[in-house]
Structure 1
Amino acid sequence: MAESAVPQLLDLPQEMLTFTLLKTSTSLAPRLGRLTIPGRSTISTPHYIGNTSRGAVPHISQDNFRKHTHIHGVYVALEDFIEKLPQQTPPVYTLECPATESALRSFIALSKETLLVLGPRRIPPVPCPAANTNTALSILTSVGFRQITSSDYVAAAQRLRPDIVVGLGDIPSGQQQPGLKRIDKMSDRTEKWTKNIISGRRGLDKTVKNPKASYEIFAPVLPVSRELQSWYLDHLVDDMLEDISGLVIYDSHMLAELPDELQLLPRLSFDLPSSPQKLLYQISLGMDIFTVPFITDATDAGIALDFSFPPPRSASVITEATAGVLTDKKSLGIDMWQPSHATSITPFSTGCTCYACAKHHRAYVQHLLASKEMLGWVLIQLHNHTVAGAFFAGVRESIAGGTFEEDKKAFEAFYEPELPEKTGQGPRVRGYQFKSEGPSESKKNPPAYRMLNDHKEGLSEAPTPDSNADAKDLERIGFAESAGS
């Protein structure tokens, strides 16, 4: 693809979603784009959308989402809402709203300007013990493992009417490379399921007068080579191209093998990055939109993200970073469980404009974490999303200025390659967030009243290091004094 300064406008069905490429060169290069849906915030790409749990970004209520974040889109998983389907009708299906509005948007109280993307599974998904079938995808709801058929997923899209629906993909669980027979099934099933979601959208179009009541479809691209899924990709290009508005990429290396006819479509990455460096690598290949689970992972661990793109601009730092000779790399985050923050009245990051940095300091946040106050994780989450937003803004400026590759090398040399290790205990988690380990498995959360029980029993059992309830914790809340009296 020849470099062009003239925007390339992609006209898609119903003139609802438009994706404009503002700067690109080859198929494997960073690119600037603009994703627009009438009535929603315009998303400049590369960018990310918020990853949700039951329709809300973890730790952030919807009012704080509107007041204190600049997240323009969210990804919502259907498996969060269909606990006992089809035996029982999920509450989200019973909500009555006008035909021109999204029932899912009303159910989760999402602001009207925020882009709403619906997919079948959470990001990242918990592996299911039962394999997918020819007609159904295995999912994990809050009441256990189940399956959702392709027809049920189509019906869900028609009822809930998000802005974008991610097509069902037969993606195997686990890390093993699937065999040839399994790959054939993946292609056949994904092709059939994609046609089903397209047929369902076409049927919906015939029943509504307002095209805004419909939705766009992002088709999955399987995480195998183009040769092994050529049959599916050929059908995607020949039979379904006019009906899809974007692609979902499960393996970023597939960007090099996309057919030319699919190159101009927006790309949503489900190839989950574990660090900002992995994000930069995918961006360098031409990825457009991301879900970034490590933002919430860091928040749960009590880590305040602390990085910027490009890295600090002092002459000596840039020279050493570009040459790869920096000896002491900077951490990507601040572990707020460390005792050194107990008396610090500085913000997480100097110059950060987030609500947490503007109103509070490190000592207060560490006190909240030690007291198991949820506000601590709320403040860290607000900060971490601000850092992520500024990171992507810096990336877009760097691509526009033609310095992305240089800045990427400087970033990799300046910062540690991975986020800090978790040292403290995070907030309570739900059982379906983790894979079951079978009989006699350890509990995911400590007993809620462990400290009180210890006091009642005369503190007979010493607190464990993992509990974050050491002697200082007991002394702070007065337990140690009472026990000694």
Structure 2
Amino acid sequence: MSTTLSDLPPEMRAFTILKTSTTLAPRLGRLTLPGRKALETPHYLGNTSRGAVSHISQDNFQKNTSINGVYVALEDFVEKLPRQTPPLYQLESPKDESPLRDFIALPKDTVLVVGARRVPCIPCPTANTNSALSIYTSVGFRQISAEDYAAASRKVRPDIVVGLADIPYGQPQPGLKRIDKMSDRTEEWTKELVSQKNGLDKTAKAPKASYQIFAPILPLAKELQTWYLDHLIDDMLDDISGLAIYHAQFLADLPEQVQDLPRLSFDPPSSPGALLYQISLGMDIFTIPFITEATDAGISLDFAFPPSRSEVSGGEDAGKKYTLGVDMWQSEHALSVTPLSDNCSCYACTKHHRAYIQHLLSAKEMLGWVLIQIHNHAIMDAFFAGIRESIARGTFGEDKVAFEAFYKPELPEKSGQGPRVRGYQFKSGQNETKKNPAAYKVLNAPEESSSEAPTPNPDAVAGDLEKIGFAETAKS
């Protein structure tokens, strides 16, 4: 008879469920790793680019944010593989310390989670193979083998490693043969990660690595990945500390033996409402691309959970739906000396006002996006704190309904020009126009008509799983 995580004493479990009711229900938990800040769940990880949260330098990360954990993509650092050794691998750190943590100057007490790909990831034109995953580095598309990924995990020593998942982003709807490959490859890649963590050379008694492994759960119905799930439970359960979920819809299909494991979502929510939906199904930890997307658009987030009872009950504005953010490009803010949000105590709101931030954006000063990003993460911290309090009170369901009735369903549309973009933010393709306008031009030259590169569809960039048919295939 299989042993479940709930059979272990609390001191032997990194993740503890503090409150839940049924399988598909919001739950409170706590992820506790040695020497790191406890992560009270539901919560989120800071989404990084090149190891840093976009627009936030390492000193501001420590002084002006409350981010307890970050997600880092290995594809940001292995552009020289396999011909040369990447600089990250050349950094020597003391025993049991993470070279990656030192490389990106991450505070010692911040939870460090590493996966192969960014969130959202860029679809690669080359398909995955039986032994390798296609990735997008700073110098183009590459492939990293399951063996190299497992070796990299032992080398960089993060707190949590997310296993490789064979998901064909940006490719046509997979047929049954392709689905079988997804399951088989993910199983083999997970076994490789587990075996390398435990040490390959048994005679040398290689020490067992200290990082936790989060096994991927494919965006397929249970019956389409039965082989993989059976082997995960029968052969690898003792070495798995969490789950990486690629579609929230399939939380209902999780086997009983893994119900008590923490769930890390790689199903990017497009809005706070979508985030609340996933939490209502029992998701624990999130990477949230829309925070930085809002910041890049010059939108300061402005919402709370639950909304104030006095605001909901209303007066003359009863029934009106409020926006989830404020577009700081609008000229109406040019003379406003109010903070970004009235009830926010972040550095941006306590030290500066809207007129100053609007001026920074208009002048293309990066400080404008820095201040908005600090504010947006503070709003998300308060949002998740409110969610945890609501679950503890047992009022999450009615608070979620009140939130959806009070706020508009989507974030405001972008109206101004964002910061200069990085190439990996866009879907690759042929005949692309320049993504950034020329910084300089010849004086007195005649004006030429030009069309700005179209803003990519975030769903296409994220490789939205519903759009490529995984959910529909599972239902059929």
TM-score w.r.t. structure 1 length? 0.88
Measured in 1, the distance between the counterparts of 2:206 and 2:106 equals 24
Structure 2 stretches lacking a partner, 5+ long: 455-476
Measured in 1, the distance between the counterparts of 2:426 and 2:447 equals 32
- Higher relative CO (Cα under 8 Å, sequence separation at least 6) belongs to 2
Aligned equivalent of 2:213: 217
Measured in 1, the distance between the counterparts of 2:248 and 2:318 equals 29
Measured in 1, the distance between the counterparts of 2:313 and 2:168 equals 43
Asked whether the equivalents of residues 223 and 254 of structure 1 are also in contact (C-alpha less than 8 Å), the reply is yes
Report the CA distance shift for 1:108/1:420 in structure 2 as closer, same or farther (over 3 A): same
46, 67, 71: which is aligned to 2:67? Answer: 71
Amino acid at match of 2:403: F
Measured in 2, the distance between the counterparts of 1:61 and 1:307 equals 25
Residues 137-168 of structure 1 deviation map (CA, whole Å, 9 limit, x = unaligned):
00000111110000110110010000000000
Aligned equivalent of 2:152: 156
Residues 226-271 of structure 1 deviation map (CA, whole Å, 9 limit, x = unaligned):
0100111111111110000000000001110100001000000001
Report the CA distance shift for 1:11/1:186 in structure 2 as closer, same or farther (over 3 A): farther
391, 402, 407: which is aligned to 1:415? Answer: 407
SS of the residue aligned with 1:331?
A: coil
C-alpha RMSD of matched pairs (Å): 2.3
Aligned equivalent of 2:372: 380
Measured in 1, the distance between the counterparts of 2:340 and 2:8 equals 41
Report the CA distance shift for 1:171/1:185 in structure 2 as closer, same or farther (over 3 A): same
Q: 1:336-347 residue pairs with structure 2 within 5 A?
A: 336-347=328-339
Aligned equivalent of 1:257: 253
Measured in 2, the distance between the counterparts of 1:413 and 1:459 equals 52
Report the CA distance shift for 1:92/1:371 in structure 2 as closer, same or farther (over 3 A): same
Measured in 1, the distance between the counterparts of 2:382 and 2:24 equals 24
137, 148, 169: which is aligned to 1:173? Answer: 169
SS of the residue aligned with 2:348?
A: helix
Measured in 1, the distance between the counterparts of 2:314 and 2:255 equals 40
Measured in 1, the distance between the counterparts of 2:22 and 2:373 equals 36
Asked whether the equivalents of residues 124 and 170 of structure 2 are also in contact (C-alpha less than 8 Å), the reply is no
Measured in 2, the distance between the counterparts of 1:215 and 1:152 equals 16
4+ residue runs of structure 1 moved beyond 6 angstroms?
204-211, 462-467
Asked whether the equivalents of residues 223 and 251 of structure 1 are also in contact (C-alpha less than 8 Å), the reply is yes
12, 17, 21: which is aligned to 1:21? Answer: 17
Q: Structure 1 residue 294 and structure 2 residue 285: aligned?
A: no
Aligned equivalent of 1:132: 128
Report the CA distance shift for 1:327/1:462 in structure 2 as closer, same or farther (over 3 A): farther
Structure 1 stretches lacking a partner, 5+ long: 1-6, 468-485
Q: 1:168-247 residue pairs with structure 2 within 5 A?
A: 168-174=164-170, 176-203=172-199, 214-247=210-243
Report the CA distance shift for 1:411/1:205 in structure 2 as closer, same or farther (over 3 A): farther
Aligned equivalent of 2:360: 368
Asked whether the equivalents of residues 19 and 35 of structure 1 are also in contact (C-alpha less than 8 Å), the reply is yes
404, 410, 427: which is aligned to 1:435? Answer: 427
SS of the residue aligned with 1:51?
A: strand
290, 312, 317: which is aligned to 1:317? Answer: 312
Instruction: Give the Å deviation of 1:99.
Output: 1.7
Asked whether the equivalents of residues 158 and 204 of structure 1 are also in contact (C-alpha less than 8 Å), the reply is no
* Aligned length in residues: 448
Asked whether the equivalents of residues 326 and 413 of structure 1 are also in contact (C-alpha less than 8 Å), the reply is no
Q: 1:263-274 residue pairs with structure 2 within 5 A?
A: 263-274=259-270
Instruction: Give the Å deviation of 1:459.
Output: 7.1
